[in-house]
């Protein structure tokens, strides 16, 4: 391939530099200059995975029944554990057979859900500042991001009333994130109700990124989008084991299942 030019696909040309890669480059350049830095880069858990999870991983790795490809939708036992956790944590009832899906990581689902619903030219409502994968996934599917600014004047929440009516009618997806990264704002059930009504009026799918639901203070536990009536009719919620349990992709379903139960 080095002997002749290779043209990358048009969709690749539309992708901006990945923010976290750019931050890492700047960090390494600063370290090389001898700068003592405080790392405010990607939110990689800096605490060890709890020992019981590691022990369960080691045990599960020795079980020959785990030395095969898993179901494409994830082990049913794990999905049942997730449904059980949702019931205990949020009092939300989920059917593990058709309402819970296992992913390689929540980033996989966040990045790829656009490919399932967004055609070229479709609009996706994206909060800013926010996770770079929201607009990147939009662009990769040929969609167009409509930015919802998170401003102090609106409590750092997306202002649903500020979205032009013609934009709302053309939108396919809307991204919400609570607790929010980077603002830390937590959406109330009342806000979720208004977002659901907005989605119903405009036939928009709400994608709620709830990766940080278990990071809170003073016992003020954030609500799940799924706790609000009508949420299942218009939306999907993404969770992450990495933020809740300091578990990265290398850890298996089995030890996560043990911990959830």
pLDDT 10s digits, 192-209: 999 999 999 999 999 999
Residue 28: its pLDDT value, please? 87
Question: For residue 72, what pLDDT band results from cuts at 50, 70 and 90?
Answer: confident
- Higher pLDDT pick, 6 / 67: 67
Instruction: Write out pLDDT tens, residues 85-134.
Output: 999 999 999 999 999 999 988 989 999 999 999 999 999 999 999 999 99
Q: Is the pLDDT of residue 252 over 50?
A: no
Residue 231: its pLDDT value, please? 97
CA distance 236 to 254: 24
Sorted by sequence, the CB contacts under 8 Å of residue 48 that are 6+ apart come out as 246
Does the domain at 106-239 match CATH 3.40.50.2300? Answer given as no
Do the beta carbons of residue 140 and residue 245 sit within 8 Å? Answer: no
Q: Is the pLDDT of residue 40 over 70?
A: no
- Cα–Cα distances (Å) from 137 to 112, 195, 199, 208, in that order, read 7, 21, 20, 15
Average pLDDT, rounded, for the chain? 88
Structure tokens at 84: 């059980």
Confidence (pTM)? 0.84
Residue 260: its pLDDT value, please? 56
Residue 251: its pLDDT value, please? 41
CA distance 230 to 69: 36
């Amino acid at each position: 391939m080095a002997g002749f030019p290779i043209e990358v696909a048009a969709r690749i040309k539309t992708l901006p530099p990945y923010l976290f890669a750019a931050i890492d480059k700047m960090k390494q350049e600063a370290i090389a200059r001898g700068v003592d830095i405080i790392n405010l880069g990607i939110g990689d858990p800096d605490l060890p995975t709890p020992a019981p999870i590691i022990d369960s991983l080691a045990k599960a790795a020795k079980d020959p029944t785990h030395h095969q490809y898993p179901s494409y939708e994830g082990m049913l036992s794990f999905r049942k554990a997730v449904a059980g956790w949702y019931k205990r944590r949020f009092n939300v009832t989920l059917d593990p057979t058709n309402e819970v899906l296992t992913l390689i990581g929540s980033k996989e689902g966040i990045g790829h859900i656009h490919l399932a619903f967004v055609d070229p030219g479709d609009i996706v409502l994206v909060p800013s500042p926010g996770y770079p994968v929201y607009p990147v996934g939009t662009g990769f599917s040929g969609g167009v991001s409509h930015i919802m600014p998170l401003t102090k004047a609106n409590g750092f929440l997306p202002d649903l009333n500020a979205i032009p009516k013609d934009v709302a009618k053309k939108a396919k997806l809307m991204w919400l994130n609570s607790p929010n990264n980077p603002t830390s704002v937590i959406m109330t059930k009342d806000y979720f109700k208004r977002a659901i009504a907005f989605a119903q009026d405009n036939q928009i799918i709400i994608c709620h990124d709830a990766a940080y639901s278990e990071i809170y203070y003073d016992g003020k536990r954030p609500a799940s989008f799924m706790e609000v009536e009508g949420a299942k009719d218009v939306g999907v919620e993404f969770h992450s084991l990495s933020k809740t349990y300091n578990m990265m992709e290398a850890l298996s379903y089995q030890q996560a299942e043990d911990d959830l139960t």
